[in-house]
Amino acid sequence: MTERQQQFELTTKAYTFTRTGLAINGESTQADWELMGQGLQAVDEARQWAIGDWLCDGKRHYGDGLYKRAAEITGLNKRTLEQYKWLSETFETSGRTEHLSHTHHQAVAGVKQVTTDNKGKLALSDDPDFDKISELLSEAVKHGWSIRELRGHVDRHKEQQREYIRLANEPEKYTVIYADPPWEYGDPRDDVSAGGASAQYDLMSIKQLEKLPVKQMAAENAVLFLWVTLPLMDEALLLVRSWGFKYKTQLAWDKGRPFYGNYSHVQHEALCICTRGTCTPVTGAKLPKSIIAIDRGKHSAKPHEFYSIIDELYPNGNRIEMFARNRRDGWDSWGDQSDGAS
């Protein structure tokens, strides 16, 4: 065997992998067989990364003639070579996730940051959003997402980004903002396998929620109605301030049936009322009681009666529901759970 062939070997007790195939050295155990399969997968993925890294280095040798010479050596077409090089340029070695394929990384590489242009408008940057990319790759490992599933999450994120930008740049600002965020708790209640919130929808951390362009969307005088579960009240008040609002009061939704909590059996959820500028309820509005008892429905869904309360207090101005489950006449809505008029 030549020295060049030896450099391409992957050897276990039962197998030897060479440039020309797999040699069976003896009777294999199930563990031997599985180990070789994992090794073969690693070789394939490492090969694609290695070609990309090799191309990055080759630019200094061949300049504009890089792909022509690389195609002659590898037999790969120019488009494939360009993709390999682009991905290696995007991901430093330390940013590559060992347990995911080269194609998984390719699926998230196009996720970009949102930035502010020289006119003060939001726009997509040319720079990758490595925080979001890292988050998506981690979730893909955690939940065992296929490439198709990962692409679905990427597409949904990009659509949300486009909507954030559109809403933030609209000349007409919103007087009323109604939000029921997909709060991330960071404990077992979030877990899909435990039947938690992430089994129903994608969760968002406080840092992610703070990045939403609510401040840009809101009119100079505006009101925010924000649903908050009781364990997250402290974080929610920080979020309110980061969005440019000031907490005023809250309505308590008595759900009828309590569920287990760490300090009490929790029976209610809070709808915080927060304002920006001067935005008190319209003169003559019928003010609601602070405790409103309505039996809860499906997971996380809020009673429609709260729309009527908001419309009574603030009948004028543009209004939007963030993280909407349904579309409602007279309201703009944003959210990947939105499924038609209500």
Length of the chain: 342
pTM: 0.64
Q: Rounded to whole angstroms, how far apart are CA atoms 137 and 149?
A: 12
Residue 188, token pair as written in the block: 């077992």
Nearest to 100 by CA among 35, 156, 145: 145
Given the DSSP bridges, would you call strands 174-179 and 218-228 parallel, antiparallel or unpaired?
A: parallel
Within the chain, all domains assigned CATH 3.40.50.150 are found at 173-334
Question: For a pLDDT cut of 70, what percent of the chain falls above it?
Answer: 84
Q: Rounded to whole angstroms, how far apart are CA atoms 17 and 43?
A: 10
Q: Rounded to whole angstroms, how far apart are CA atoms 96 and 100?
A: 8
Burial of 279 (C-beta count, 10 Å sphere; 0-12/13-18/19+): buried
Summarize pLDDT for 183-221 with one digit per residue, the tens.
987 654 444 444 444 444 578 899 889 988 899 899 999
The average pLDDT across 272-284 equals 93
Q: H/E element holding 128? A: strand 122-128
**Sign of the dihedral defined by the CA atoms of residues 234, 239, 245, 251, in that order:** negative
335: left (phi over 0), alpha (psi -120 to 50) or beta: left
- CATH H-level, domain 173-334: superfamily: Vaccinia Virus protein VP39 (3.40.50.150)
pLDDT greater than 70 at residue 3: no
The average pLDDT across 21-26 equals 73
Angle of helix 66-74 relative to helix 30-62, nearest 10 degrees, comes to 150
Alpha helices in 113-220 (DSSP H): 130-143, 147-169, 206-210, 214-217
pLDDT greater than 70 at residue 337: no
Contacts 24+ apart (CB under 8 A), 44-49: 45/101, 45/102, 48/84, 48/102, 49/84, 49/87, 49/88, 49/96, 49/102
**Sign of the dihedral defined by the CA atoms of residues 36, 40, 42, 43, in that order:** positive
Summarize pLDDT for 287-315 with one digit per residue, the tens.
999 999 998 766 567 888 999 999 999 99
Query: If you compute the radius of gyration of the chain from its CA atoms, what whole number of angstroms results?
Result: 27
Q: Rounded to whole angstroms, how far apart are CA atoms 89 and 164?
A: 28
Q: Rounded to whole angstroms, how far apart are CA atoms 85 and 52?
A: 4
Residue 55, token pair as written in the block: 């191309």
Summarize pLDDT for 103-161 with one digit per residue, the tens.
999 999 999 999 988 888 889 999 999 999 999 999 999 999 999 999 999 998 898 88
Residue 64, token pair as written in the block: 């504009």
Provide the pLDDT for residue 174: 93
Q: Rounded to whole angstroms, how far apart are CA atoms 204 and 209?
A: 6
Provide the pLDDT for residue 232: 93
Beta bridge partner(s), residue 274: 224, 247
Comparison of pLDDT for 33 and 230, the residue scoring more: 230
